[in-house]
Amino acid sequence: MVVRVKRTNLLRLAVLLAVIVVGGVLLHVGRAATPFLTAEPETGTPSAGATVGSDATASNGKYVTFPAPAPGITPYGVADYCALEGTSTVIYGWAYDPDAGAAVDPTVTVTINGVTKTVPTDQAGYRDAAINAWIDTNRAGNIKPGTYGFRAVFSGLSKSTVYTISGTIINIGGGTNANLNINDDGLLDGAATNSFIGKTLPINCLSGTAGTITKACSNNVPLPTKYDHVLWIYEENHTFSQVINSTNAPYITNLAKTCGSTSQFHDGEPSSEQYPDSTTYVYHSFSEYIAYAAGSLCQYGNGIHGTGCWATLTSTQKHNLTWKSVFQQVNEAGGTWREYDESADMNCDNASHGLYHDDHNPSRMYTDVRSQCATNDIAIPPIVCPDGAGKCNTAPTGRLATDIASGNLPTYGLIIPNVDNMMHDGTVNQADTWMKTYLTPLFNSAEYKKGRTAVFVIWDEGNSNTSVMPFLAISPSTKAGIVTNPINGFAVLRATEEMLGITEYLGCASGTPPHAVGQAPPAGSSCFSGATAKIRSIYKM
């Protein structure tokens, strides 16, 4: 049984709380349960004895368990979100002091770039009055029971500076103080609020003029809470060591080092999901492209990750996939999407020919966006980028080039070079030159310099399903460096959903294998490591 909670009044909360505990079992929604004190600050079960509470408005609704009152228990809480109120940056959050001997509310210090504010906590300082009232009722015997809201006001903060946040919860009852948790995972706490992505204040919470963007990444600019454009570019069939630091890929290597990359990017699909009952890893772009657009290769239902895995479908079924895709998510969020296919003969081209492979064209496979295929799945003319020449023979033409030049990029864009320009059939150097030809004008554009455009470059298919492949994360705020965090394409899908303000995570982007509504995931199913990596926090995007 799953109980989903949204913002609610006290009467509705009372009804919900009546059904939260069934046979002594705590039910929760949202992300998977983790140790309360060491990970997610609003979900999970601590080791101490507990009573049941609820923070129904935080991070789309979660239930929490609080330790039973006992002197000296370390307090805990979270700086939850920020807001720009007039010209002031306001930090909202809550703190809980379970010390039964405390006669007064806990105090919170909030620090932004070395400037510290000490603020009181009280039941009126946060938006969970109904929840606080419920906890008060059910925590009899504690002198100052419940969760306590706080509001810290900072003035003089500007969009031209990057600010980081930290804090402390002070146990007034004489117990140990604790670090204030920071909501830094990139998840929004409702449409009008902003989390501290990577413990950094987003631009929405700052006043004044934004900082100057002079290069592709590592500009001293705050993070946008929501992006205007997220673009994916697909490359093929090469490992990390074949591309990064190669003399044949100077442009891509420079982006990896001056923007974001990882030395642990892997395929997100086990061989058993590509070909059931097969122990051989089979290369096929079709499965990877549709997996990353929808969070799974398969429909919701039974099997390793569902029913109807692509290898068992008929040709007709393969081109009429009925499960939900990121293209439809963008539609539902009021955005636009386009796929740009180099060397296709026509929009929504459904037949391979020459340098165009139809299995590199995922949007045309999904029935949920079939009616838009002829207008949004766009053929673009090829350019020839000879190996070793350092430049292409002609300048790009067609819709992608004009969309970059005119600032008319879609909310979500998928860019598929032809097989010569994506390292599939052509050389590493050809792909490197192609990417430089398209990305240089993008990074120089007025639209990119607004600070709300991001680019992910994803490689498909190493030489085994354990191969490490290249990966690039690019945005004006992205910090330079190659990290070691495990990441796969499902995490890229999740980050894209977060960056576009989409709160639904498809399939393994949620961390849970796809399954039928109202049913548990199939026995034995799992999502590969890195499927829910916090890309926004890792790369400061």
How does residue 299 score in pLDDT terms, banded at 50, 70 and 90? low
Q: Taking the model in full, what pTM does it have?
A: 0.82
With bands split at pLDDT 50, 70 and 90, how would you rate the model's confidence at 140?
Answer: very low
Q: What pLDDT is attached to residue 429? A: 96
**Would you place residue 3 in the very low, low, confident or very high pLDDT band (cuts 50, 70, 90)?**
very low
Q: What is the mean pLDDT of residues 349-360?
A: 92
Does the pLDDT value for residue 69 go beyond 60? no
Place 187 in a pLDDT band, splitting at 50, 70 and 90. Answer: low
Domains and CATH numbers, the chain: 10-205 (no CATH), 229-473+481-539 (3.40.720)
State the pLDDT confidence band at 460, using cuts at 50, 70 and 90: confident
Which pLDDT score, from 0 to 100, does residue 142 have? 44
Tell me what pLDDT residue 186 has. Answer: 65
Structure tokens at 376: 């949004």
Instruction: Supply the pLDDT for residue 59.
Output: 31
* pLDDT of residue 276 exceeding 60: no
Which residue would you say has higher pLDDT here, 117 or 529?
117
Residue 342 has pLDDT above 90, yes or no: yes
- Of 81-90, 315-324, 402-411, minimum mean pLDDT range: 315-324
Closest CA to 494 of 445, 527, 459: 527
Residue 303 pLDDT > 50? no
Look at residue 432 and tell me whether its pLDDT is greater than 70.
yes
Q: Which of 90-99, 401-410, 455-464 has the highest mean pLDDT?
A: 401-410
Taking alpha carbons only, the member of 80, 87, 330 closest to residue 192 is: 80
Average pLDDT, the chain: 77
Instruction: Please compute the mean of the pLDDT values over residues 492-507 and round it to a whole number.
Output: 92
Element (H, E) at 342: strand 337-342
The per-residue DSSP string of 112-173 comes to ETTEEEEEE-BTTSSS-HHHHHHHHHH-TT-SS-S-EEEEEEEES-BTTS--BEEEEEE-TT
Residues 432-439: what's their mean pLDDT?
97
Tell which residue, 515, 103, 137, 75, has the closest CA to residue 295. Answer: 515
pLDDT score for 258: 97
- The DSSP symbol for 530 reads T
First to last CA, the chain: 35
Q: What is the pLDDT of residues 239-256, one digit of tens each?
A: 899 999 999 999 999 999
Encoded tokens for 467: 């191969």
- pLDDT value for 270: 53
State the DSSP code for 456: E
- What pLDDT does 5 receive? 29
pLDDT at 525 over 80: no
What local confidence, expressed as pLDDT, does residue 222 receive? 92
Of 427, 452, 432, 404, the residue nearest 254 (C-alpha):
432
Query: Higher model confidence: residue 290 or residue 175?
Result: 290
What is the number of other CB atoms lying within 10 angstroms of the CB of residue 270? Answer: 15
- What pLDDT is attached to residue 185? 73
Greater confidence (71 vs 38) lies with 71
Residue 210 pLDDT > 70: yes
Query: In the prediction, which pLDDT does 200 show?
Result: 93
Residue 291's pLDDT is 83
Paired sense of beta strands 107-112 and 165-170, if any: antiparallel
Backbone phi, psi, residue 167, to 5°: 180, 175
Overall average pLDDT of the 72-95 stretch: 83
Query: What is the arithmetic mean of pLDDT over 39-47?
Result: 31
Tell me what the mean pLDDT of segment 396-423 comes to: 96
Could you tell me which residue, 129 or 421, shows the higher pLDDT? 421
Residue from 36, 49, 50 nearest 181 by CA: 36
Q: Residue 395: what pLDDT?
A: 94
Task: Among 123-127, 222-226, 295-299, name the one with the lowest average pLDDT.
Answer: 123-127
Does the pLDDT value for residue 203 go beyond 50?
Answer: yes
Q: Rounded to whole angstroms, how far apart are CA atoms 508 and 517?
A: 15
Q: How far apart are CA 73 and CA 174, in angstroms?
A: 10
Name the pLDDT band for 13 (thresholds 50, 70, 90): very low
What percent of the chain shows pLDDT beyond 70? 69
Read off the tokens for 441: 């004008």
Using left for φ > 0, alpha for ψ between -120 and 50, and beta otherwise, residue 425 falls in: alpha
Percent of the chain topping pLDDT 90: 48
Residue 188 binned pLDDT confidence (cut-offs 50, 70, 90): low
Q: How far is it, in rounded angstroms, from Cα 259 to Cα 343? A: 29
Average of per-residue pLDDT across 380-394:
94
Which range, of 6-20, 86-100, 251-265, averages the lowest pLDDT?
A: 6-20
Residues 6+ apart with CB under 8 A from 500: 226, 227, 230, 329, 330, 333, 335, 411, 412
Q: Is the pLDDT of residue 141 over 60?
A: no
Q: Within 13 A of 277's CA, how many CA atoms are on the CB side?
A: 1
In 3D space, the residue among 250, 261, 262, 291 whose CA is nearest the CA of residue 274 turns out to be 291
336 token code pair: 């636009």
**What is the structure's pLDDT at 8?**
30
3 state DSSP class of 205 = helix
Query: CB-based burial of residue 232 (10 Å sphere; 0-12 exposed, 13-18 middle, 19+ buried)?
Result: buried
| Ramachandran area for residue 340 (φ above 0: left; ψ -120 to 50: alpha; else beta) | beta
pLDDT at 36 over 50: no
Mean of pLDDT values over 349-361: 92
Cα torsion 220, 226, 229, 230 to 10°: value is: 90
- Mean pLDDT comparison of 126-140, 351-365, 525-539, highest-scoring range: 351-365
441 membership: H or E segment, kind and range: helix 428-443
Residues 294, 321: Cα–Cα separation, whole Å: 10
Indicate the range of 336-345, 372-381, 499-508 predicted with least confidence.
499-508
Can you give the length of the chain in residues? Answer: 541
Across 73-87, 224-238, 258-272, the highest mean pLDDT is recorded for: 224-238
